[in-house]
Structure 1
Amino acid sequence: MNFTAPLALLLLLTVPYFFWLGQPRRAAGRRWRDWVSLGLRTLIMLLLVLSLAGTQFVRAADELAVVFLVDASDSISPTQAETAESYIRTSLENMTPNDQAAVILFGANALVERPMSGLAELAPVSSVPQALQTDIAEAIRLGMALFPAGSARRLVILSDGTATVGDANEAARLAANSGVEISYVLLGREAAAAEALLTSVSAPTRISQGETFRLDITAESSADMPATLRVLSGGNVVYEEAVQLRRGTNNFAVRLRALEQEFARYRVQLTPTNDTFFQNNELAAYTEITGPPRVLLVANDGTVDDNGVPQPDESPQLLLALEATGLVVDRTTPADLPASLAELSNYASVILVNVNAKNLSPRKMETLQSYVRDLGGGLVAVGGPQSYGMGGYFKTPLEETLPVEMQIKDQERFPSVSIVIVIDRSGSMSALEGGVTKIQLAAEGAVRVVELLNDFDEIAVFPVDTQPDNPIGPLPASEREEAINLIRQIGAGGGGIYVRTGLEAAAAALADSPNQVKHVILLADGADSEQKEGVEPLIASLVEEGVTVTAVSIGDGPDVPWLQQVAQWGNGRFHFTNQAANLPQIFTQETTSIQRTYLIEERFFPSLVSNSPILAGITAVPPLYGYVGTSPKDTAQVVLSSEQGDPVLAAWQYGLGRSVAWTSDATGRWGRDWVQWDGFPAFWAQAVRWTISQERDSNVESVITYTDEQATLTVDARGSSGDFLNNLTMEANVVTPDGSVQNMTLAQVAPGRYEAEFEPETDGAYFIRVAGSDGTEENVVGQTSGWVLGYSPEYREFETNPQLLENIAAVTGGQDLAGLETAVFDHTLPSEATTRPIWTWLTLLAVLLLPVDIAVRRLVITRRDWERAWAVTFGRLQPATVAPTPRTEQVSRLFEAKQRAEKSTTSPSPPTQEAAQPVSTKDKEPARARVNENRTAVQKPPSVTNKPVESAKPGTLAARLLQKKQQQDKET
């Protein structure tokens, strides 16, 4: 027994004084009660003092806890995994009631499959740890954390012993110091079959375009065998050769020529005739092929779009101007724009020429955003009637990347607008697209319309199938929060859309609107638009009231031509899309089109707002004839503006890259004087080159080292003169193979050297963009590089490592338990003494004794009370004696008195007249009165009554009454 607060035991010194103070002072009689009460109080005080001292009970426990550590890395075959699971199940059958067991699965990390439990069974294994590595040390540390206090502790490792990361020996020493025994079961492998693997592939970090370079390849083989060596670049086979592998190490040198400027990724594949693991037959390498800056120009190809509207190619003049300045330009269309960072990383900058957002998928826009923000690429957006707000850029990744917002914040320039959106809520709108229903995408388009409107505008939304369902509005746009909440609650219904019913509801909503511009957007299914009759005259009446009607067909079908006619009847536009994801862009494009304030077509000279390298050497510019209205962002630099203060040329730094917004065009529509201007090529070359960060790459050298699941990025930064650049704000973005981005801030660890660590979780290609600056234009550095995480080290080890397991067991006093399932739960380990607090029980006992003490002092219980309590509780359980005529005690006494009276009538003494009278048995008076009558009936002569009381006949009622009276007189 020990105590957590032993100083409280000093209170025991007050017990003698307490005992002396409470000892009985009264005379003999009831002193025994006082002594019992004093004993109880003393005991209560002792219990409370022991409780305050935190009394604990110390005992030795015969308990054993076992934790099974099961290897689940890639080096463990299914057969080995089954062997380990079977071993554990058999071992659990030998558990005793005092035993507990837990199971941990480990690979690169460790997971608890079964917590500590006394159940002698194992549920099906379901945990899946990371299998790229084997970390026995982490499994040991997690296993030690599961042991309960006071039990003997044993770890059982079931593994092949091939630890690839972590210090297992150090973890074993920690376990030994904690009194934990580690035993093991070696999971043996079958006889090794033929195996060939690639061990390394290296390529130069940077080469010039047109240069011949060499890939150095190393392979290992367990036997002589033929194989095929193949090199792929961008999905194309650039080298293939049949080779002969010899037992041991094989070296190959493959010569390639750098044809194009790009960030090249080469995949080397080895295909042997005999092999066991295919995972170790491929490795990759990166090299940067440098040359003149390479730019990707994205423009329409001159064909018509899905709505039959011609899409002219507006890139010829711009393409010629860029090529004239030495830039290498590749041209593509919005449909062919790469949707992967790997392909976009081959370009220094991307130029969008009057591109509509609906022609770019959400994934392509997100890739462009990541290309600029995370890889440091450049982006130049050239305007036109299909760009910016007119092209549906609002609330898209493009708007986030560009230095301008799609909304014009000067509301006084806008006419008041009333928009009614009729949304098809038929059953087809419940179909999923990219994990989202079509009706949700349509509702999001309506939400963006609300966000674009000014406070004095009105909005109404009618979801329609056979009739309008929960119509919304008309509401002022100032109540946009309420409108947005209602719109996002729209759900799909059934059947098709009744077009006339929907347009009638729209006409009723616009009938009382005083706004200058009234517009209806009809979204209908191209294959399920019903109730066409009467639509044409209805639209004609709307047009007479100044209302325009736009039709949007979602999906192809027989009703598409009719919806095109609806747009013609309503003097509106027709939009066709097979992807509901385009609806938000279409709706925002419609909103900006009907407002018309976003499209400014007038002759003006751009005004210089701030100096920029884009205008280096340019002192005067020609006039422009139009642009798309936007608003500059807070941190953007406006270089040129219009007469109304709208940005015409704006630029900013976005993440690690740069973007430029030109809100006019580069054709003869608005820029006819510019395309004939001598400074046109220089202007565009400087605008594009400003977004290119490749010129700053030579000042940075970045290296990645990978050790124990940890990748370390080391960057050395130097100035143009070769001196170290210190105190830079250095950041890096790591783009993983699945496209996610991890941002890191590098800390300076040495002169000009910066480092940061990250944990790659999957094998594959990683893009790394590094950028640093001290806040000035002179000391700005950046670099884009690549790094490949090869296959798991598990596929390089083909032999078990029993020596590691033996060393671990020797450190902790363990043993090899292979085939000894019954020995796993042997109680051969010393158990630690455990302490269990008992102060709570002591306090409870003191509380229970307190009412007993009060009862001893205050409660007096006689023998008669005990008899009655016994009769009430246990007496009822005894069988009752059946009498012929049951009588009560009082009745019995009355009968005895009657018998005595009858006897007295026959005595020789002369009876009195009253005594001669018989006692009536029918008398109903109380028993006391009857007793008095009996006394009167048996009175003696005067000479008899003067005799002493002792002469009364014993056993009579009178004798008993006299005896009781005498006893009371003695007590008084």
Structure 2
Amino acid sequence: MVIDSEISAVNIFICFFIVVYFFIQFYNNFDMFSKKKFIVWLCIRIAVVLCLICALLNVKWVSTPNATTTVFLVDSSLSVKEYKKEIETYINQQLLNKKARDKIAVITFGREPMVEVPISKNIKEIRLETKPNPLFTNIEKALSFTADYFPPNTNKRIILFTDGRENIGSAYEVIQKLKSQNVNLYIYPLKNKLNTDFQITAINMPHYVYRKAKISAEVVVDATSNGEGIFRLYSCGNKIIERNIKVQKGKNTFLFQVPVQNIGNIKYTGEIEFREDTNPQNNYINVSTMVINEPNILVIGNKEDTKNIENLLDSLYIHKKCYTPLEVPSDIDFLSGFQEIMLVNVNHKHISSELEKSIERCVREQGIGLLVIGGENTFALGGYEDTILEKMLPVRCKMRGNKKQPTTGLVLVIDCSGSMEDESGGVKKIEMAKEAAIKSIEILENEDYVGVLGFSDRLEWIIPFHQLKDKEKIKYDIGKLKAKGGTLILPALTEAERVLEKADVKVKHIILLSDGQGEKEGFQSIISSMKKQNITLSSVAVGQDAEKSLLKKVSQFTGGRNYEVANYYEIPDIFARETYLVTKKYLNNHVFVPRIVSDNNYFKKRDLPELKGYIGTGIKDGADMILQSDKEDPILAIWNYYLGKVIVWTSDLSGKWSSDWIKWSEFQRLWGKIINEALTDYDDRDMKIQISQNSCRVFVYLDSGEEKSELSAQVVLYGSEGMQKKINLKQIRLGEFYGQIVLDRVGGYVLTFHIFHGGNEVKRTVRTVYLDYSPEYDINQCISVDNFLLTSDTNILDKSSNLFDLPIVLLNKSSRSLKHIFIPLALFLFIADIWIRKNY
């Protein structure tokens, strides 16, 4: 038994008070009883006092458990994959000697630990089947996890199978903590075989170089033996250097002159090839260099939309590269070479998912500017709503808070003939029609009217024409659309025209979708009536069998639009575009003079040229609206999206709406300011950044160029899949900072360096680093098991001995408080004390 080490002064005082009280009672009652009864009373009193004192001092019962829990902790990284069978055999042999009361568990680990076999007494045989990430070894995390995994009231033993080649974390401190937790650690050493291996370790090049210069590239090759091989260097996919090289065992350094032609962030890939090499995984490496001359802008758009912008950039002597949306490379290394990206009247369906994500990362992580120029293929009409692109913009596609717009009456006339059950690409036409109808419903406002009329060889109002109040119910009812019967278009148009004629709405429109051939004639009367009633009709002809020529004539005569669709997936987007157009507030074709609403450096208080149109949007909270239309909609807006600036111009620059602006004498000067505003604004010419990399460990040194004590520095690490990590750099001298970063995934990383003064950012710059292959393949990075054992001061397992007979040196002592015994006992004895005093 032991006494609690944490005893308060109050408890000591109470104990003292009890003892004093005992002596006073003893003195007062000395002559009350006979000698025999007095002795009984005295013993009871002493027992009560002792019980109370023991309870107050929290006396505990300390015991040592008889059972032991053994956890087999198995390294499953790449460097020890050849030992899997050996480890399984060893564990299964040892299980034959396990004592019945003992428990075992199996945990495997690579980058992270995974439980292979939960703690149990009844394990006869194990097979290592879990697959932790094998590209990294984190012994520290595995040991910490295992130490917390042990159940209470048991002795603890870990059998660690490893080669000691830890490349993430540091196990040494954890091993010391294991001792304080009474965890017995034994190591089953796995020694690697030394194979012939040639590794390209680094390519050292300056970060900033000038175009048409020649730079020196220092190439480091490590080898486990002498050999002859080939070194190649690629730039932008083209081989620019190929040389025969000879290496000796150890570190080898080669120097090459590299010509520089392109501008921007240029990615170089170096590779080596040796015939005797047994490990090709570490034979290539990437490095990036920023080639500068003048600002470099990427223009994405079709030629007819970008021609005026190209002329503008040429007049400003700004270097540019122009691509159509379908041709532009989407990888982030390419995009990182530009200080600004311009999207010019680009429909979202022409922007690949990879390109959109890469643009977002460049703006968010690297501070590259984004300038979006409008046109009829942008914003709501271009499918930007609820996309990553819309999230980046200072405007939203759905207009809110605008002055009251004309109420719209929309009838969706949808072909429900049997052919609408046909499939293409795994989707039925009727299902795409349902999705299209739902999209239209979502776009309309609650004040608008809508009806969904299905037709085949008979008519059915799926949604009777009425004011849009309950969107969810309407969308549910749209699911009742079913395909059956033939195709009769004329009765459907007559019915739709009938309900719209009576509707009290300003805008009356029909969207007709059909995939078959109906009547050939008899339409003149109905379309003439539509025209008199100002009812417009747009048609969507689906597939080769649709009555395309007839639908086109009906659409043109009523002032609507005609679409011919081969890909069924396009139907919902067409319905959405049509619904946006028919509401008369997204596509604004009228003449107005933009109004300056925000103080800025772009425009002075002067008369601006007229615009003839724009795409309606809504300004977001936190964005700065610089110009607005006569309807108070954004024309020019800007905001910061993480590190980058995003600017939106909701009119065009092709000349359709902006011809007066393009002819304006101030056009070049003012748009030069707008373009410069979005350019990457970091400048690190007075900063010094040194980055040294040892496999997955990156060491950074930053000299801010200023000796101020109030400075602080931070580097933000951006990896693939949106991974982000912030590392505060340690100040080693005034204005100088140092830090270490661990890369725990293979791939490219962007490092954004921030310098703060008094909490405000004063400087920023960006670098790119790569972890091209797992450190498990690095012949320099990993320490040997012998060094690990020497440093960690642990027990080496004798493979021939029965590990379940090994002595448990560090016993897991458990203690239990005896308050629950002493307090009731004291109470019982106290009652006995009272009984004796009353009866004697």
> What range describes the TM-score normalised by the shorter chain of this pair?
0.7 to 0.9
CA deviation digits over 1:922-950, x for unaligned, max 9? xxxxxxxxxxxxxxxxxxxxxxxxxxxxx
Residues 500 and 359 (structure 1), Cα distance of their counterparts in 2 relative to 1, 3 Å cut = farther
8 A contact 1:231–1:267 mirrored in 2: yes
Tell me, in whole angstroms, the C-alpha distance in 2 between the residues paired with 1:92 and 1:233. Answer: 57
8 A contact 2:156–2:812 mirrored in 1: no
8 A contact 1:62–1:831 mirrored in 2: no
Of the three residues 775, 785, 791, the one matched with 2:767 is: 785
Give the equivalent residue in structure 2 for 1:68.
Answer: 72
- Report the TM-score, using the length of structure 1 for normalisation: 0.70
Give the equivalent residue in structure 2 for 1:86.
Answer: 89
Of the three residues 385, 389, 398, the one matched with 1:398 is: 389
Tell me, in whole angstroms, the C-alpha distance in 2 between the residues paired with 1:516 and 1:75. Answer: 74
Tell me, in whole angstroms, the C-alpha distance in 1 between the residues paired with 2:796 and 2:752. Answer: 51
CA deviation digits over 1:358-392, x for unaligned, max 9? 33345444443333233212222233333334434
Q: CA deviation at 1:205?
A: 0.8
Give the equivalent residue in structure 2 for 1:277.
Answer: 279
Give the equivalent residue in structure 1 for 2:118.
Answer: 115
Q: CA deviation at 1:94?
A: 1.3
Q: CA deviation at 1:323?
A: 0.1
Give the equivalent residue in structure 1 for 2:594.
Answer: 606
CA deviation digits over 1:46-70, x for unaligned, max 9? 9x99998999766554322222121
Q: CA deviation at 1:97?
A: 1.0
CA deviation digits over 1:395-431, x for unaligned, max 9? 4333333333334446545221022446789666796
Tell me, in whole angstroms, the C-alpha distance in 1 between the residues paired with 2:433 and 2:136. Answer: 47
Equivalent residue runs for 1:435-474 within 5 Å: 449-460=440-451, 471-472=462-463, 474=465
Aligned residues: 797
Residues 563 and 656 (structure 1), Cα distance of their counterparts in 2 relative to 1, 3 Å cut = farther
Tell me, in whole angstroms, the C-alpha distance in 2 between the residues paired with 1:757 and 1:700. Answer: 19
Tell me, in whole angstroms, the C-alpha distance in 2 between the residues paired with 1:579 and 1:756. Answer: 54
Residues 134 and 644 (structure 1), Cα distance of their counterparts in 2 relative to 1, 3 Å cut = closer
The question of 1:543 aligning with 2:530 is answered yes
Tell me, in whole angstroms, the C-alpha distance in 2 between the residues paired with 1:745 and 1:469. Answer: 64
Give the equivalent residue in structure 1 for 2:295.
Answer: 293
Equivalent residue runs for 1:126-275 within 5 Å: 126-190=129-193, 192-275=194-277
Please report the RMSD computed on the Cα atoms of aligned residues, expressed in angstroms.
5.0
Tell me the secondary structure at the aligned position of residue 318 of structure 1: helix
Tell me, in whole angstroms, the C-alpha distance in 2 between the residues paired with 1:238 and 1:679. Answer: 45
Of the three residues 674, 692, 695, the one matched with 2:679 is: 692
Residues 103 and 748 (structure 1), Cα distance of their counterparts in 2 relative to 1, 3 Å cut = closer
Give the equivalent residue in structure 2 for 1:671.
Answer: 658
Residues 50 and 815 (structure 1), Cα distance of their counterparts in 2 relative to 1, 3 Å cut = same
Equivalent residue runs for 1:6-17 within 5 Å: none
Give the equivalent residue in structure 2 for 1:22.
Answer: none
Tell me, in whole angstroms, the C-alpha distance in 2 between the residues paired with 1:291 and 1:134. Answer: 43
Of the three residues 814, 823, 828, the one matched with 2:803 is: 823
8 A contact 2:55–2:823 mirrored in 1: no
Tell me, in whole angstroms, the C-alpha distance in 2 between the residues paired with 1:404 and 1:450. Answer: 22
Tell me, in whole angstroms, the C-alpha distance in 1 between the residues paired with 2:425 and 2:18. Answer: 79
Q: CA deviation at 1:578?
A: 6.5
Q: In terms of mean alpha carbon deviation, does 216-225 or 1-10 score higher? A: 1-10
Residues 509 and 112 (structure 1), Cα distance of their counterparts in 2 relative to 1, 3 Å cut = farther
Of the three residues 500, 504, 508, the one matched with 1:518 is: 508
Q: CA deviation at 1:113?
A: 2.5
Tell me the secondary structure at the aligned position of residue 376 of structure 2: coil
Give the equivalent residue in structure 2 for 1:36.
Answer: none
Tell me, in whole angstroms, the C-alpha distance in 1 between the residues paired with 2:477 and 2:237. Answer: 45
The question of 1:101 aligning with 2:104 is answered yes
| AA matched with 2:407 | S
8 A contact 2:100–2:121 mirrored in 1: yes
Equivalent residue runs for 1:479-494 within 5 Å: 479=469, 482-484=470-472, 487=475
| AA matched with 2:669 | A
Of the three residues 781, 798, 803, the one matched with 2:786 is: 803
CA deviation digits over 1:254-300, x for unaligned, max 9? 22211111101111111211222222111111110011111222232
8 A contact 2:517–2:546 mirrored in 1: no
| AA matched with 1:175 | L
Residues 297 and 134 (structure 1), Cα distance of their counterparts in 2 relative to 1, 3 Å cut = closer
Give the equivalent residue in structure 2 for 1:765.
Answer: 748
Q: In terms of mean alpha carbon deviation, does 658-667 or 468-477 score higher? A: 468-477
Equivalent residue runs for 1:502-901 within 5 Å: 503=492, 510=500, 513-522=503-512, 529-530=515-516, 532-533=518-519, 537=523, 540=527, 543=530, 546-552=534-540, 557-559=544-546, 561=548, 565=552, 567-568=555-556, 571-575=559-563, 585-615=573-603, 621-694=608-681, 696-703=683-690, 716-718=703-705, 723=706, 734-736=717-719, 738-742=720-724, 744=726, 749=731, 751-752=734-735, 760-770=743-753, 781-797=763-779, 801-804=784-787, 806-807=789-790, 811-812=793-794, 814-820=795-801, 822-826=802-806, 829=809, 831=811, 834-835=814-815
The question of 1:357 aligning with 2:348 is answered yes
Tell me, in whole angstroms, the C-alpha distance in 2 between the residues paired with 1:332 and 1:521. Answer: 35
Q: In terms of mean alpha carbon deviation, does 317-326 or 382-391 score higher? A: 382-391
Tell me, in whole angstroms, the C-alpha distance in 1 between the residues paired with 2:350 and 2:340. Answer: 20
| AA matched with 1:405 | R
Residues 171 and 492 (structure 1), Cα distance of their counterparts in 2 relative to 1, 3 Å cut = farther
- Report the TM-score, using the length of structure 2 for normalisation: 0.80
Give the equivalent residue in structure 1 for 2:410.
Answer: 419
Residues 552 and 180 (structure 1), Cα distance of their counterparts in 2 relative to 1, 3 Å cut = same
Residues 186 and 430 (structure 1), Cα distance of their counterparts in 2 relative to 1, 3 Å cut = farther
Q: Which has the larger radius of gyration?
A: 1
Residues 638 and 161 (structure 1), Cα distance of their counterparts in 2 relative to 1, 3 Å cut = closer
Q: In terms of mean alpha carbon deviation, does 674-683 or 277-286 score higher? A: 674-683
Tell me, in whole angstroms, the C-alpha distance in 2 between the residues paired with 1:691 and 1:234. Answer: 26
Residues 535 and 173 (structure 1), Cα distance of their counterparts in 2 relative to 1, 3 Å cut = farther
Q: In terms of mean alpha carbon deviation, does 364-373 or 703-712 score higher? A: 703-712
Q: In terms of mean alpha carbon deviation, does 437-446 or 452-461 score higher? A: 437-446
Q: CA deviation at 1:212?
A: 0.7
Q: In terms of mean alpha carbon deviation, does 205-214 or 170-179 score higher? A: 170-179
The question of 1:342 aligning with 2:333 is answered yes
Tell me the secondary structure at the aligned position of residue 368 of structure 1: helix
Tell me, in whole angstroms, the C-alpha distance in 1 between the residues paired with 2:674 and 2:339. Answer: 13
Tell me, in whole angstroms, the C-alpha distance in 2 between the residues paired with 1:319 and 1:236. Answer: 27
Tell me the secondary structure at the aligned position of residue 280 of structure 2: coil
Tell me, in whole angstroms, the C-alpha distance in 2 between the residues paired with 1:500 and 1:314. Answer: 42
Tell me, in whole angstroms, the C-alpha distance in 1 between the residues paired with 2:721 and 2:565. Answer: 27
Residues 610 and 320 (structure 1), Cα distance of their counterparts in 2 relative to 1, 3 Å cut = same
Q: In terms of mean alpha carbon deviation, does 276-285 or 424-433 score higher? A: 424-433
Q: CA deviation at 1:207?
A: 0.2
Tell me, in whole angstroms, the C-alpha distance in 1 between the residues paired with 2:265 and 2:527. Answer: 59
